Amino acid sequence: MGIIKERRKLNKAIFHAKTVFLMAHKNLDLDALGSQIGMYMILKRKKKKCYIIIDDRTHEMGVEKVLRELEGCIEIIRSEEVESHLYPRQSKNLLIVLDTNKKDLIQNDKVLDHIKNRIIIDHHETGKTTIQNAEMIIDNKTSSTCEMIANLIEYYDVELESYYATIILSGMVLDTNNFTLNTTAETYYTAYFLASLGASAKKVQYLLKQNIEDYAERQKLLASIETLQGNVAFTKATPYTQYRREDLAKVADTLLFFNNIEASFVIGKIGKDTIGLSARSLGNYDIHIILDKLGGGGDATSGAATFEDTTISKVEQEVKKLIKEEGE
């Protein structure tokens, strides 16, 4: 429970703030959204004016369900609206960044120009693009940012409706791949705590449900698996199929279940001119080193990178080159 040890810097920043803004990474997943919602509830308990900043135009299925079901229950703004919601005294505004610490990965880095008081709450490794001039609460031994926020909720004894507890639990389930990765005794305890608040395992599965057509499309990626350096699984999509980021992540998760595989890398087209890379590790192979060199983000067990105006073949060559260098 590293975040509890760091609570004083968080308490101090929140105490002095009149208005608090919450922001996570682009292309929200349930860990990012769940941790924002949990922090939002903590701040409401402390009677703080609070806004969640979301610029994403499209969302993965689970995030879309949550945002639709919570419409009108939480205050969500776009980054372009931040300036109009600032407290008049600059020193009384606070930005809390969750589930990332990288400037290039947050919803909109222009928000940093408006808010000088910043705290980062994250479970990923820091890197070259880590946000500067911010208080850091980083615990890369914790399964997810949702687990960190759940620890705060328990410590502050925040009353939480069962649906909010379910969202936070879903973030933990997502980031641990159903408690198979980066899971400790404390992770299970936190899941128990959320269940005691009424978190529903059935509802979690609903939020994580997959579209059958998307599932079928992902299976095509499993047809061209290569094994590199003896323990790294690699696969790529064709240039003619566009995937969602979460599709690549799910394939990367799946590859870890094969014998002798310690890490996985999956490449595919995720936009008209954008290539996505998703990587996973069981913990014995540090994918963060490779992702950092590629300008991506994540930690030793989970991460991603994006590439603009290039081809799948060029990204493949670069990734394979770095994998080979790490294996030598």
pTM of the model: 0.84
Helices (H) and strands (E) in the chain, counts: 13, 12
304 & 192 share domain: no
Q: Report d(CA 209, CA 207) in Å as an integer.
A: 6
Alpha carbons within 13 angstroms on the beta-carbon side of residue 316 total 17
Residue whose pair of structure tokens reads 């057509």 in the numeric block: 213
Instruction: Give CA–CA dist 285/232, Å, rounded.
Output: 9
Cβ atoms of 217 and 33 within 8 Å: the answer is: no
Q: Are residues 58 and 33 in the same domain?
A: yes
What are the two backbone dihedrals, phi and then psi, of residue 125, each rounded to the nearest 5 degrees? -65, 150
Domain boundary among 207, 237, 258: 207
Please answer whether residues 50 and 75 qualify as being in contact, where contact means their C-beta atoms are separated by less than 8 angstroms. yes
Q: Are residue 197 and residue 235 in the same domain, yes or no? A: no
Residues 120 and 15 in one domain: yes
Distance of CA 256 to the CA centre of its chain: 19
User: Which of 179, 207, 235 is the last residue in one of the domains?
Assistant: 207
In a shared domain, residues 74 and 182: yes
| Joined tokens for residue 168 | 């936070």
Query: What pLDDT score was predicted for residue 224?
Result: 86
CATH of the domain at 234: 3.10.310.30
Q: What is the pLDDT of residue 328?
A: 66
Q: What is the DSSP letter of 52?
A: E
Residue-level pLDDT at 1: 54
Consecutive 10-residue averages of pLDDT for the chain (328 residues): 85 95 95 98 96 94 94 95 96 97 93 96 88 93 95 95 97 91 92 97 92 83 90 94 87 92 95 92 89 84 89 95 86
Looking at the fold, whether 233 and 194 belong to one and the same domain comes out as no
- Paired tokens of 272: 């008209």
**Does residue 79 share a domain with residue 117?**
yes
Cα separation, 117 vs 114, whole angstroms: 9
According to the model, what pLDDT value does residue 302 have?
A: 84
Q: Is 314 exposed, middle or buried (0-12, 13-18, 19+ CB in 10 A)?
A: exposed
Q: How far is CA 257 from CA 88, 136, 227, in A?
A: 53, 34, 13
CATH code for the domain in which residue 116 is found: 3.90.1640.10
Residues 217 and 200 in one domain: no
Cα–Cα distance, 230 to 51 (Å, whole number): 48
Asked whether residue 93 falls in the same domain as residue 144, the answer is yes
pLDDT at 55: 97
Q: Per-residue DSSP letters for 3-40?
A: HHHTHHHHHHHHHH-SEEEEE-BSS--HHHHHHHHHHH
Q: How many CA atoms lie within 13 A of 96 on its CB side?
A: 31
DSSP assignment of 203-270, as one string?
HHHHHT---HHHHHHHHGGGGG-EEETTTEEEEE--TT-B--HHHHHHHHHHHTTSTT--EEEEEEEE
Whether 145 and 37 share a structural domain:
yes
Q: In terms of domains, do 150 and 58 share one? A: yes
Tokens coding 105: 């990965």
Q: What range defines the domain where residue 183 resides?
A: 2-207
Domain boundary among 207, 239, 260: 207
Looking at the structure, do residues 178 and 221 belong to the same domain, yes or no?
no
What's the total number of domains in the chain?
2
The helix/strand/coil state of 120 is strand
